[in-house]
Amino acid sequence: MHDPRLTPARGDIAAKYLEGKVEAARYVEGKAFEIADALAPLRLGPSADAELATQALKGERVTVYDRNAEGWAWGQLDADGYVGWLPDVALATPSAAPTHKVMALRTFAFPGPSIKLPPSEALVMESRLGVTREEGMFAVTREGWFVPKTHLAGLDAHAPDFVAVAERFMGTPYLWGGKSSLGIDCSGLVQLALNASGKTCPRDSDMQQAQLGRALAADEAKHPQRGDLIFWKGHVAIVRDADTLLHANAFHMATTIEGTREAIERIKAAGSKVTAIRRL
């Protein structure tokens, strides 16, 4: 059984690499694009009111297999393999490979070398940029944007503690499918924090439970450590220390710190038990 979230296949069309594996009327090679917008919604359908599955950040690459007349493109993100519909206007022909990424929660791109100018764009953590030169306190991108150098790092720079990265999102509003400090969901927080620390991570919590780390035995699970992940059906939280966890959650509609025992009991009372605790 192919996971539709990760399989670019419909009854009428599918990726060429799936020929012989899935049934479709035709198979296409797809065309490479990059995300030109600061933050692009990837939706389950070709409509602005379709469910938000995830978000793609500036500089991400995507392979597009279909485009419709209403301005939507159907494709697969290269980084985590997620499939869905993106606004056509958010895509651009790929340029040279990015050289830097945003390490700040958010930053501004200015049209010139002055912080007094009205920003051209607002960028979020893990956005990819191509830097062509430096000028004073700024890095100048291929678009001609001037971005504060202190907010950027090379692609090989990794945060040493993914939990500390996640803690920076405290207070961020909860957004189903969100993947930035403007709005984020539970698995988006885990993915973004792990990506910032140089680790690959699937997008959804069930994928994370299946693929990340190892499951703790019952005795070990009584003493979770910083960086362990606690899973429920459809939810994931990050252990901060022996007593607290951090998670983006719809109960608080924000990224919050809770007592681990209290959170487990609260969620259990709402009808969901812990399904696993995993150690990376």
Q: What is the pLDDT of residues 213-263, one digit of tens each?
A: 999 999 999 999 999 999 999 999 999 999 999 999 999 999 999 999 999
The tokens for 19 are: 């020929």
Looking at residue 95, its pLDDT comes to 87
Q: What is the pLDDT of residue 243?
A: 96
Could you read off the pLDDT of 73-92 as tens digits, one per residue?
A: 999 999 999 999 999 999 99
Strand partners, 135: 138
Give the DSSP letter string of 221-232.
HTS--TT-EEEE
Angstrom CA distances, 229 to 126, 226, 244, stand at: 21, 9, 12
For 85, which DSSP code?
E
Token code pair at residue 269: 């009372």
Which pLDDT does position 1 carry in this prediction? 78
At residue 59, the pLDDT reads 97
Count of residues making up the chain: 280
Residue 105 has pLDDT above 90, yes or no: yes
> pLDDT of 136-184, one tens digit each?
999 999 999 999 999 999 999 999 999 999 999 999 999 999 999 999 9
Which helix (H) or strand (E) is 180 found in, with range?
strand 179-180
One-character DSSP codes across 21-66: TB--S-EE--EEEEE-SSEEEEESSSSTTSPEEEEEETT-EEEEEE
Gap between the Cα atoms of 206 and 188, Å rounded? 12
Give the pLDDT confidence score for residue 98 in this predicted structure. Answer: 97
Mean pLDDT of 204-217: 98
Quote the pLDDT of residue 182.
Answer: 98
Q: Determine contact, residues 248/203, Cβ cutoff 8 Å.
A: no
In order of 122, 158, 170, 192, 235, the CA distances from 176 in angstroms are 21, 26, 16, 14, 11
- In 105-175, where does DSSP find H-type helix? 162-167
Six-digit token string for 215: 């499951």
Q: What are 109's strand-pairing partners?
A: 121
pLDDT category at 129 given cuts 50, 70, 90 is: very high
What pLDDT was estimated at residue 121? 97
Confidence check: pLDDT of 15 > 90: yes
